[in-house]
Amino acid sequence: MSFEVLAFLFLLAMYLGLELIQKVPATLHTPLMSGSNAISGITLIASMVLAAESTSWFGLVLAGFGVALATINVVGGYCVTDRMLQMFKSRDVKSGAAKQAEQR
């Protein structure tokens, strides 16, 4: 493919991604984050495969950069998802403790 076609596809993907993200309600943020973590995991594996099969130093640097960014994305995404789930969990635990206190 030519550079112009690849640049057009990249810009189109950026535009569509922004349009989709802006329309996501807050209640769907945690499931969306978990799904994007799975996609980033696939990106991480693909970057490692490309790094292993790279024959030039430039390809190795780009693949290493991809591995680093995908790793940061996966770890950060799971930390954010875990923190959000802990917020919901603590609310449920408090309400359960309050119910037990009322029963006594």
Long-range contacts of 63-71 (CB under 8 A, 24+ apart): 70/40, 70/41, 70/43, 70/44, 71/44
What pLDDT, on the 0 to 100 scale, is given for residue 37? 77
Asked if the structure places residue 88 within a domain, the reply is yes
Asked if the structure places residue 62 within a domain, the reply is yes
- Tally of domains in the chain: 1
Asked if the structure places residue 15 within a domain, the reply is no
Asked if the structure places residue 57 within a domain, the reply is yes
Asked if the structure places residue 34 within a domain, the reply is yes
Cβ 98 vs Cβ 86: under 8 Å: no
Full domain range(s) for residue 95: 27-103
Q: Mean pLDDT in runs of 10 for the chain (104 residues)?
A: 89 90 76 76 90 90 91 85 75 58 61
User: Model pTM greater than 0.85?
Assistant: no
Asked if the structure places residue 33 within a domain, the reply is yes
What pLDDT, on the 0 to 100 scale, is given for residue 67? 92
